Each structure stands twice: as structure tokens, then as C-alpha cells.
Amino acid sequence: MNNSDAKVIKTGVKIVIQSGVLKHIQTSIVLSVNTLVMELHDLRKNYGKDAIPEEYLPADPFDWFGDWLRHALLVTVHEANAMVLSTVSGNGQPSSRIVLLKQFDENGFLFFTNYESRKGIQLSSNPAAALLFFWPELERQVRIEGIIIKADAAVSDEYFLSRPMESQVSAVVSPQSQVIPTHKYLVQMHREFSSSHSEGKFSRPENWGGYLLSPHLFEFWQGRSNRLHDRILFELINQEWKRCRLAP
Ligand SMILES: Cc1cc2nc3c(=O)[nH]c(=O)nc-3n(C[C@H](O)[C@H](O)[C@H](O)COP(=O)(O)O)c2cc1C
């Protein structure tokens, strides 16, 4: 690669163009840790896009969540259905990762994964979990806490079969969260499985399927000016959703 094609466009950002094509963006090459910390300190955003008025407080958190998710999809928030899933190991160590919400209703929030992954192992010893949605374009956050159970096998089968064949094969061959030697190894496994099942006849592996989080807590957060944000909490108490406002 010809170094003369590399340009520093601003402090800490280098772009590399090869034959007129953007090849690479490298950030923080010039920034020292101290400069970065200073820049983070100085990042300050004022919120104020929307408000949750006192007179409009839905009684049902599922309806409210549906409204906000629809809104996020409408304004094309990037990956609006991406959510942080936090689980806790048997010895109390929390861990978080993104998964995609595939369905929700009063029964819960559905996502799909490998049951033998790190999250799967944690959930088998501790079903308590939390979900977090962040929709920056709307200055909104939703926190959800509850208990996770495995989805019905029929639900998992249906979703598995609805996925593109390549994704189905990936779910079969990837031992999620296990150590593997190289990416090439994974590609090889994918290729071998695909060619030995070229007619596409294989079923969902038992270690892959849906989980359903049944919530007992929601918190809706809307950014407001001067850090006086809205926070509306719903808690399920004796089968009824109780609502209150929290200080930001
Ligand atoms: C945008 C995005 C969407 C993802 N969606 C899923 C998903 O739906 N299911 C899944 O198992 N992993 C998904 N992942 C990968 C997970 O974040 C994670 O790497 C993987 O599930 C292994 O996590 P674990 O080792 O904690 O079990 C997604 C990652 C990103 C960045």
C-alpha cells in the first residue's frame, strides 16, 4: 500500500485511499489517552426533542413500548430493534451484549440465540435478566427487567426456517462463545455443511432457539433540557402495573 495515499484529515483520524477507493479509516492514531479523556469531558449534549407530559401517561407499558418502537422505526433509528441484554452468572458476575428483538407482546420480549452460549449458560443458572433500548435520534431509553424462559420449540422452529439458508447453516456450525482456531475454520465448517446438505433439508439444532423475557419492570426515559429528564417507572405488583415518576 502506498503511504502517500494516507491522509490525516483531523487530529486522530487517518483515511487511506487506494486507487480512488476508501480502504481504511484509522482513528486515534495521534490522540494520546489524556487528549481523549479531555475530549470526552467536553462532550456535552443538550436534550429537548420531546417531553412526557403529566396528562399523557399511558397505563400500559406494553402499549407505550409499542408506540416508542414504532416511532423509532418510523424515523429510521439505526437497528431500532437492537437491545442490550444483560445476564448474570451463577456467582453474580453481570455481562451484557446486543441481541435483536424479534417479537413482543404481553407475554414478553422474544430473541434468538444459542442455548449453549455464554448468555445461555448464565440464563440456565440465573433466569433474571435486563434489556436496554437506546434510541439516540429520539433521545429515548427504555429499561426492562424480568425473567427469561425458553420459547416454545414450535416458535423457534418457525423462526429458524424463516431465516435465509446461509444464516441457518451459521447457526448450526457456530459453537457460539466457544474458542475456535481461525475465521477460516468457521468458513470451512460452513462450506462443508452447506455442500453435504445442498438440498437444504436439516432441522433447527436443539442448542439454538428463542428466549422470552417476561417483564416485571419498565422504565421510559426521555431526554429533557438542563438534565431535567423524564423517567417513568412501571412495576408489576400483584398482577397490576403501578406507575410513578422518578427524579432524573
Ligand atoms: C447489532 C447486533 C445484533 C446481534 N444480534 C444477535 C442476536 O440476535 N442473537 C445472538 O445470539 N447474538 C447477536 N449478536 C451477537 C451478540 O452481541 C454476542 O456477541 C453473541 O450473542 C455472544 O454472546 P455471549 O457470548 O455473551 O453469549 C448481535 C450483535 C450485534 C452487534
Question: Would you kindly state where each structural domain of the chain is located, as residue ranges?
Answer: 3-42, 61-245
Q: Is 98's C-beta closer than 6 angstroms to any atom of ligand 1?
A: yes
Cα separation, 182 vs 18, in Å, equals 28
Q: Give the nearest ligand 1 atom to 85 CA.
A: 17
Cα separation, 81 vs 98, in Å, equals 10
pLDDT tens per residue, range 9-53: 555 556 666 666 666 666 554 556 677 777 787 888 888 888 887
168 CB contacts (<8 Å, ≥6 apart)?
160, 161, 202, 204
CA 239 to ligand 1 center in whole angstroms: 32
Q: Give the mean pLDDT of 57-65.
A: 93
CA 23 to ligand 1 center in whole angstroms: 27
- Which residue out of 97, 163, 227, 231 is catalytically annotated? 227
- Looking at domain 61-245, its CATH architecture is Roll (2.30)
Q: Is 118's C-beta closer than 6 angstroms to any atom of ligand 1?
A: yes
pTM for the model stands at 0.86
Q: Is 170's C-beta closer than 6 angstroms to any atom of ligand 1?
A: no
Cα separation, 71 vs 74, in Å, equals 5
When pLDDT is cut at 50, 70 and 90, the band that residue 3 belongs to is very low
CA 148 to ligand 1 center in whole angstroms: 16
pLDDT tens per residue, range 140-156: 999 999 999 999 999 99
Query: What is the maximum alpha-carbon separation in the chain?
Result: 69
